[in-house]
Amino acid sequence: MELVQLNSRGNDVVNLKQLLKKWGYQIDLTDTFDGGTDQTVRNFQRDNGLTVDGKVGNNTWRVLQDDNARRAYLTQKAQTEAAKMETVRMGSTGLTVFRLQQYLSRWGYKIGNDGKFGSETDTIVRQFQQSHGLQVDGQVGRNTWGVLLNDYARQASQTASAGSATTSTGGATASAGMVNTAKLTEADIQRCAAMLDVEVAAIKAVKYVESGGRSGYLSSGRPVIRFEGHWFWKFLETDRHWNPQNFVKGNEDILYRYDKNQTQHKGGEGEYVRLEKAQAIYEEGALKSASWGLFQIMGFNYVECGCASVKEFVARMRASEGEQLMLFGKFLKKKGLDKFLRAHNWAEFARHYNGERYADNKYDTKLRDAYNSYKKA
């Protein structure tokens, strides 16, 4: 791309404006770099820590075209805005409901904008929550707002569903299953390796051993999880001071004192059936009792991952594989495990990350072999 600035004209200016629009900035799509464009470019540069001069050179073009940077910016922006939004539900009325209906329309749902949260809005909200791995309760709180307001997630969803069949239920049009397209990139891995001051091959080795080369998402677009009923038992006791035994009947598959009945694990989407069942009893404890994403980090480690709450942790797990990797990196740094990767001390890393019985499944050997393979590549 050429350097463009005030009074420039042509296709590069149009491309610039299209990119700024994808980043969420309001701008016309003419081929003229006018005063309004100059101010928008300066806002973009300020928001992204660039030199604020209104000139679009190599550095500004690079960030504009960085899909991972755009994802992180729009995800953080959505989370900040979501924290300010009022929770609405069936029976609510007013401006917030009107805004909810507007955003659902942007996502492609056919819905009237009357500011009244009636049965139609409730049905569509539940469909939206189901499609995006949220708790299906019809309440639009911080988590649901966080996805609704995320322009990156909306753009990815619409790109993934473009040209695909849609299904209509109760007047709402929704894609036949959103697939999360924000996959891990080489840039993500390099950024994490730089943050930890470890080799890229070491990060790739842990990813390979933890994920087995699989995606961090199910075909539905929801993060891979594994729900642990013995942890849920513990959190009912420690967080709520409830007697878990009072909840066991009918919940034997999600609530047990010891990690002894591995047959309760269903795998895949079946784990979400178990998670949602637990959420109906105690939502926060349920989210903390599952391991999430590519690196299967337990939800109760949200603080070590740099999150203010387990719900923020889950929202970031849903955002992209790149976010899953950064959470993993922050967890390693907080726990001091990065030093074992720098020293290639696979046994100690395995002991602290995989548990005392790491040798049973040759976790350290697998790490060493994977590292050597990536190092040679």
Q: pLDDT in tens for each of the 377 residues of the chain? A: 789 999 999 989 999 999 999 898 999 989 999 999 999 999 999 988 899 999 999 999 999 998 888 888 888 888 889 999 999 999 999 999 999 999 999 898 889 889 999 988 988 998 888 777 778 888 999 999 999 999 888 877 766 554 443 333 333 333 333 344 467 888 889 989 998 999 999 999 999 888 877 888 887 778 999 999 999 999 999 999 999 999 999 999 999 987 665 668 888 888 999 999 999 999 999 999 999 999 999 999 999 998 888 988 998 888 888 889 999 999 999 999 999 999 999 999 999 988 888 898 899 999 999 999 998 86
Residue 98 near residue 51, CB atoms below 8 Å: no
**pLDDT at site 226:** 93
Longest dimension (CA), the chain: 72
**pLDDT at site 159:** 62
Who contacts 186 (Cβ-Cβ below 8 Å, separation ≥6)? none
| Radius of gyration of the chain, Cα coordinates, nearest whole angstrom | 23
Q: Which two tokens stand for residue 82?
A: 């979501």
Residue 45 near residue 53, CB atoms below 8 Å: yes
Q: What's the pTM value of the predicted model, to 2 decimals?
A: 0.54
Q: How many angstroms separate the CA atoms of 290 and 133, rounded? A: 14
**pLDDT at site 315:** 86
- For 167, phi then psi, to 5°, come to -120, 145
Q: How many angstroms separate the CA atoms of 54 and 374, rounded? A: 42
**pLDDT at site 263:** 67
* Residue position matching structure tokens 């006018």: 34
CB-based burial of residue 52 (10 Å sphere; 0-12 exposed, 13-18 middle, 19+ buried)? middle
The total of other beta-carbon atoms located within 10 Å of residue 2's CB is 11
**pLDDT at site 170:** 35
Who contacts 330 (Cβ-Cβ below 8 Å, separation ≥6)? 304, 305, 306
- For 116, phi then psi, to 5°, come to -120, 125
b/e 241-267 (16+ beta carbons within 10 angstroms → b): eeebeebeeebebbbbeeeeeeebeee
**pLDDT at site 168:** 34
**pLDDT at site 2:** 85
In three-state secondary structure terms, 168 is strand
**pLDDT at site 136:** 80
Q: Report which of 146, 182, 188 is spatially closest to residue 320, judged by C-alpha positions.
A: 182
